[in-house]
Amino acid sequence: MTKKFVLFGSNKSLPDGKIIATKGEAGFQARTLAPGLYWGMWVWQYTIDMSPFIVIPEGKIGLILANDGQEIPTGAILARRVSSDNFQDAEMFLNNNGQKGRQTSYITAGTYRINTFAFTVTIADMVSISENRVGIVTTLDGLPISKGQIAGNNVEGHNNFQDFDAFLENGGSRGLQPQIILAGSYNINKWAVQIEEILMTEVPIGYVGVVISFIGDDGADVTGDTFKHGNIVSKGFKGVWYEPLGPGKYPLNKYTMKMEIVPTTNLVLNWANARSEAHALDKNLSTITVRSKDGFPFNLDVSQIIHVPANEAPKVIARFGSMTNLVSQVLEPTIGNYFRNSAQDSDVISFLSTRKERQESAKEHIRAVLEEYNVNAVDTLIGDINPPEALMKTLTDRKIAEEEQKTYQTQRMAQEQRQGMAKETAIADMQKEIVQAQQSVEIAQRTADAAVKKAEGEATSLKLKVDAEAQATKMRANAEAEATKAFAAAKAEATKLNASADAEQISKTGLAEAEKIMAIGKSTAEAYELQVKAMGDDNFTKFKVTEEIGKNGIKIIPDLLISGNGGTDGGLNGLLGMQLMKMLGDKKDDNSSRN
């Protein structure tokens, strides 16, 4: 509503500096009319302007600019909050000494009946912080920051700066804030608070993060008297924190804190123009140029492996500020000067030939130096050594000359061998017959040797055979002797037994025969005795002779009779008698053999 004039009363016009009427003065009225029917609003006295409701969409907030009210105090930027039903009651706002200008308060999503003559509403986005990010806060109003500090004090109770009036009431300071806001959406007045969204600080695996705080009270040094290169304080104080942060993500305010990433694994640094590691700490290191004792400059590449223990990382940062400073202030001059000094004690060739010994010496020297800086030297390695080109050309020419000399000697030996081969070939061609003769002699000699060997073999074989046969014969003889001895013993035993049996038989037979003969003889004798008695002795004799002649077929008359001139009883009778006796004897022998 706009009131054109006042007919009655003392409040006919607005006081100076006021543009909204709260007591019936002429001008823009603080009171608004809600939808409905109203009487007494004469068109000749009032002008009614239809205005839509203020609608704040989801995800937005409404920032309020008051067009009338008390002056903002000197030094303040934003008007403080007063009760006004979310700025829908302008008369209440003004009566409560609301201040003109940008307000600390805001309205959230919804529909509002706000007097647009008294307030100007600006729709703004809510503050949204993405995942893995943090919001760095800078406030635009509040108390001045304390002397010696770069950020305000830590203030609680303002709900992540969404209640800016609570922040101011609790003594919040304008400027950079130590607090941060994490991922999420916030109703924050952008006229009061500025938010810078940054990534969270990440400490990779194999590293630790040493925190350097730029805000807070001055803390006591926790390292004691042994460390003289800077203060290391407990967490929450200004300075280098004693406890490093392990691998992970941390919501740090990059303006109030700094984190130095320190590798805790073995770190390789290369003094080489063409090589650099991924950590880039050696990007400013280059090949070391040294000068030998004989005045030759030459280049060499060096690699240094170091290790910073996790518990020593804060000391390294307190001493040097960063790993880059450690490299540039300690490692680069230490290693460069060592090899320059080492090269001046030797010529180039000796330096090349004693590379292993110099590498071990450098390792021990650099290890002792780095221990003073709380750094472990793992190993020192000498890479490529590039002597001067002129010296290398001289050495190359010398080596080539040596190799050429060897080549010439080899060629001369080859020529000599070729000549010897030709001479031998000629001799071989000229002495073909001699070679054949020599071969024949050698064949004959080998044949004779073979015959001798064969004879020796046969003799040896024969000797072995004879020895074997003799041994076999001896064994057989022994066996036969043993057998004969056993057989003779058995036969003797058998003969003895047979003899005993025969003797027993003969004895018994003899006795029987004797008894028989005796009986026969006795009976014969008795018969003969009876016959003699009967025939007489002379007749019995003649009878027995005649009986025997007849029984045995004895010829009495010979087939040939020779008679002599003598008598009948001369020599002839004697011969006949002898013949007869002989015949009787032969016959008796035949009978005996038959028996």
Most confident of 86-95, 219-228, 455-464: 86-95
Q: Look at residue 447 in the predicted model and tell me its pLDDT.
A: 78
Q: Look at residue 594 in the predicted model and tell me its pLDDT.
A: 58
Residue with tokens 């969270």: 200
Q: Look at residue 293 in the predicted model and tell me its pLDDT.
A: 82
Q: Is the pLDDT of residue 198 over 90?
A: yes
Q: What is the mean pLDDT of residues 242-253?
A: 93
Q: Which long-range contacts (CB under 8 A, 24 or more apart) does 162-167 make?
A: 162/186, 162/187, 162/188, 164/78, 164/104, 164/139, 164/189, 164/192, 164/193, 165/80, 165/81, 165/104, 165/105, 167/139, 167/142
- Helices 432-535 and 537-552: angle between axes, nearest 10 degrees: 140
Q: Is the pLDDT of residue 317 over 70?
A: yes
Q: What is the mean pLDDT of residues 85-105?
A: 94
The angle at the Cα of 210, spanning 206 to 211, to the nearest 5 degrees, equals: 140
Q: Which residue has the higher pLDDT, 550 or 99?
A: 99
Q: What is the mean pLDDT of residues 545-574?
A: 58
Tally helices (H) and strands (E) across the chain.
11, 24
Confidence of residue 306 (pLDDT cuts 50, 70, 90): very high
Q: Is the pLDDT of residue 59 over 90?
A: yes
Q: What is the mean pLDDT of residues 103-128?
A: 95
Q: Range with the lowest mean pLDDT among 8-12, 341-345, 397-401, 530-534?
A: 8-12
Confidence of residue 511 (pLDDT cuts 50, 70, 90): confident
- Helices 389-430 and 432-535: angle between axes, nearest 10 degrees: 60
Q: Look at residue 120 in the predicted model and tell me its pLDDT.
A: 95
Pairing label, strands 239-241, 232-233: parallel
Calpha distance 320→326 (Å, rounded): 6
- State whether residue 330 is helix, strand or coil: helix
Q: Look at residue 575 in the predicted model and tell me its pLDDT.
A: 61
Q: Look at residue 432 in the predicted model and tell me its pLDDT.
A: 67
* Contacts with 9 (C-beta within 8 Å, 6 or more apart), sequence order: 24
* Pick from 289, 271, 293: nearest CA to 281: 271
Kind and range of the H or E element at 442? helix 432-535
Instruction: Pull the structure tokens for residue 70.
Output: 């008390």
Calpha distance 387→542 (Å, rounded): 167
Confidence of residue 45 (pLDDT cuts 50, 70, 90): confident
Residue with tokens 């003559």: 117
Q: 234 and 242 in contact (C-beta within 8 Å)? A: yes
Confidence of residue 401 (pLDDT cuts 50, 70, 90): confident
Query: For 513, how many CA atoms within 13 A lie in the half-sphere containing its CB?
Result: 6
What percent of the chain is modeled with pLDDT above 90? 34
Q: Look at residue 124 in the predicted model and tell me its pLDDT.
A: 96
Beta bridge partners of 261: 209
Confidence of residue 570 (pLDDT cuts 50, 70, 90): low
The residue type at 274: A
Instruction: Pull the structure tokens for residue 592.
Output: 């005996």
Task: Tell me the pTM.
Answer: 0.58
Q: Look at residue 226 in the predicted model and tell me its pLDDT.
A: 72
Q: 111 and 124 in contact (C-beta within 8 Å)? A: no
Q: Look at residue 595 in the predicted model and tell me its pLDDT.
A: 53
Plot region of 24 (φ>0 → left; ψ -120 to 50 → alpha; else → beta) = left
* Pick from 66, 122, 54, 55: nearest CA to 90: 66
Q: How far is CA 467 from CA 217, 462, 472, 476, in A?
A: 120, 8, 8, 14
Calpha distance 386→92 (Å, rounded): 88
Q: Range with the lowest mean pLDDT among 125-129, 130-134, 500-504?
A: 500-504
* DSSP codes, 83-97: -STTTT-HHHHHHTT
Q: What is the mean pLDDT of residues 583-587?
A: 64
Q: Look at residue 252 in the predicted model and tell me its pLDDT.
A: 93
Q: Look at residue 552 in the predicted model and tell me its pLDDT.
A: 67
* Pick from 314, 129, 284, 278: nearest CA to 204: 278
Q: Is the pLDDT of residue 369 over 80?
A: yes
Q: Chain-wide mean pLDDT for the chain?
A: 82
Q: Is the pLDDT of residue 568 over 60?
A: no
Q: Is the pLDDT of residue 529 over 90?
A: no
Q: Look at residue 522 in the predicted model and tell me its pLDDT.
A: 73
Q: Which residue has the higher pLDDT, 323 or 556?
A: 323
Q: 313 and 232 in contact (C-beta within 8 Å)? A: no
Q: 281 and 323 in contact (C-beta within 8 Å)? A: yes
Q: Is the pLDDT of residue 498 over 60?
A: yes
Q: Please write the tens of the pLDDT for every residue from 406-419.
A: 888 888 888 888 88
Q: Look at residue 94 in the predicted model and tell me its pLDDT.
A: 92
Q: Is the pLDDT of residue 494 over 70?
A: no
Q: Look at residue 347 in the predicted model and tell me its pLDDT.
A: 77
* DSSP codes, 505-534: HHHHHHHHHHHHHHHHHHHHHHHHHHHHHH
Q: Please write the tens of the pLDDT for every residue from 250-298.
A: 999 999 999 999 999 998 999 888 777 777 888 888 888 888 887 778 8
Q: Is the pLDDT of residue 582 over 80?
A: no
Q: 219 and 238 in contact (C-beta within 8 Å)? A: yes
Calpha distance 82→95 (Å, rounded): 10
Plot region of 138 (φ>0 → left; ψ -120 to 50 → alpha; else → beta) = beta
Instruction: Pull the structure tokens for residue 421.
Output: 């081969």
The residue type at 536: G
- State whether residue 144 is helix, strand or coil: coil
Q: Which residue has the higher pLDDT, 433 or 16?
A: 16
Q: Is the pLDDT of residue 592 over 70?
A: no
Q: Is the pLDDT of residue 235 over 80?
A: yes
Kind and range of the H or E element at 398? helix 389-430
Q: What is the 3-state secondary structure (H, E, C) of 223-276?
A: CHHHCCCCCEECCCCEEEECCCECCEEECCCCCCEEEEEEECCCEEEEECCCCC
Q: Range with the lowest mean pLDDT among 146-160, 171-185, 338-352, 387-401?
A: 387-401
Confidence of residue 553 (pLDDT cuts 50, 70, 90): low
Q: Range with the lowest mean pLDDT among 203-217, 371-385, 516-530?
A: 516-530
Q: What is the mean pLDDT of residues 456-481?
A: 73
Q: Range with the lowest mean pLDDT among 218-222, 237-241, 381-385, 427-431?
A: 427-431
Confidence of residue 87 (pLDDT cuts 50, 70, 90): very high
Pairing label, strands 27-29, 20-21: parallel
Q: Is the pLDDT of residue 558 over 90?
A: no
Q: Is the pLDDT of residue 208 over 70?
A: yes
Q: How far is CA 286 from CA 256, 297, 328, 433, in A?
A: 35, 15, 12, 80
